[in-house]
Structure 1
Amino acid sequence: MSLNYLVYVSQAAHDLSEAALADILRASQRYNAARDITGALLFVEGRDGRRGAFMQLLEGDDQELERLRARIFDDPRHHTKVVLDRGPLTQRNFADWSMAFRAVTPPDLAGHPEFADLADPGFMERCQQQGAPGAVAFLCEFWDAAPL
C-alpha cells in the first residue's frame, strides 16, 4: 500500500446540531477504521452561529481515499466541496485517529490568518481560484497547539 493524503474543505448545507456532528464523526470512524484511513476533521461554526464549514485531512491508500472522496462529495449535508491538496506521505500525521475531530468557532482560528475565514463563503471562493497552500501544516499545527 502506498500512503497518501487528501485535504478538502466544504460548507455545511444546513445548520448542524451537535448530535448531527456526532453522527458524522461516528460514521467516519467506523468507515475509516475498516479501510485503514486516518485523519482529522475540523468543523468551524459559521459567524452567525449557524451553518459552518468543514476541513478534513484523510490519510491512507490512494484508491481508498478516492473512493471516500467521491462518497463525501456526494453527501448532501455539505456543498462547495474543494480539494485543497493531495499527494504521497512518508508517515501519517494522525496515525492514532480513525478520525480526530474538533468543532471550533471563528475566533479559535484567529492565530491562523490564512484560515481564519474558513467558515465564510469567500474562503471557499478563494480556494477554488487560488487553492490554500499549507492546509496540512495548518491542521497539524492547530491540533498540536490545542491537544484533543
Structure 2
Amino acid sequence: MYRIVYISTPKPDIGPADVAGILETGRKNNIRNEITGLLVQDSRRFLQYLEGEQDAVETTFARISCDNRHLAIIPLKMGLIGRRQFPDWAMASRLVGINNSLENTVAELVKNCDHDVAIELLDFAKARDRAA
C-alpha cells in the first residue's frame, strides 16, 4: 500500500460548488482506481491524503497537480504504508469552520489510523494551524 500526503492552495475564486465538484469527481475516480483517503479544507489550504496501489496513487496525484483550481501543491509525505488507513472512504471530506482548528478536525478523522500515520497527519495540521 502506498500513500501521498500533500497540501495545496485553492485559487481565490474557488467556491463551495467548485469544492463539491472536486469531491464528486474525486470520489468517482477513487472508487474506479481503488484509492481511499481524505480531503480537509480550511479557509486557505487543502490537506489531502491518498492511498492505494502505487501506480494508481501516483497517476492520481499527477492529474491533481495539473488541476488549475489550486496552486502551490506541496507533497508532504509519500511512500509505503502497512495497510489502508481509510478503507471505507473513497474520499472523506471536512471543511474546517472559522472557529475550529485544522488539528481538531484531523484528530476526529484519524481515530482509527495507525499511530504513526495519525501523528504524522496531526503534525501537519498543527504546523498549518501555527502558520495560519
TM over 0.5: yes
- The equivalent of 1:94 in structure 2 is 86
Q: 4+ residue stretches of structure 1 with deviation over 4 A?
A: none
From 48, 55, 58, the counterpart of 2:47: 55
Larger displacement relative to structure 2 (34-43 or 101-110): 101-110
Give the gaps of 5 or more residues in structure 1: 46-51, 116-133, 140-148
- Other structure's SS at 2:56 match: helix
Classify 1:105/1:63 alpha carbon distance in 2 versus 1 (closer, same or farther; 3 Å).
Answer: same
- Other structure's SS at 2:28 match: helix
Looking at secondary structure, tell me which structure has more helix per residue. Answer: 2
Give, in whole Å, the separation in 1 of the partners of 2:35 and 2:102.
30
Q: CA deviation at 1:16?
A: 2.2
Give, in whole Å, the separation in 2 of the partners of 1:5 and 1:111.
20
Give, in whole Å, the separation in 2 of the partners of 1:30 and 1:135.
27
Classify 1:14/1:110 alpha carbon distance in 2 versus 1 (closer, same or farther; 3 Å).
Answer: closer
Contact 1:84 1:135 in 2 (8 A): no
Classify 1:77/1:70 alpha carbon distance in 2 versus 1 (closer, same or farther; 3 Å).
Answer: same
TM superposition score normalised by structure 1: 0.68
- The equivalent of 1:68 in structure 2 is 60
Give the gaps of 5 or more residues in structure 2: 107-118, 125-132
- Other structure's SS at 1:87 match: strand
- The equivalent of 1:7 in structure 2 is 5
- Other structure's SS at 2:62 match: helix
- Identity across matched positions, percent: 32
Over aligned residues, Cα RMSD in angstroms? 2.3
TM superposition score normalised by structure 2: 0.76
Q: Give the aligned residue type for 1:72.
A: I
Number of aligned positions between the proteins: 112
Query: 2:128 aligned with 1:136, yes or no?
Result: no
Give, in whole Å, the separation in 2 of the partners of 1:35 and 1:101.
18
Classify 1:137/1:104 alpha carbon distance in 2 versus 1 (closer, same or farther; 3 Å).
Answer: closer
Classify 1:62/1:111 alpha carbon distance in 2 versus 1 (closer, same or farther; 3 Å).
Answer: closer
Q: Give the aligned residue type for 2:87.
A: A
Q: Give the aligned residue type for 1:12.
A: P
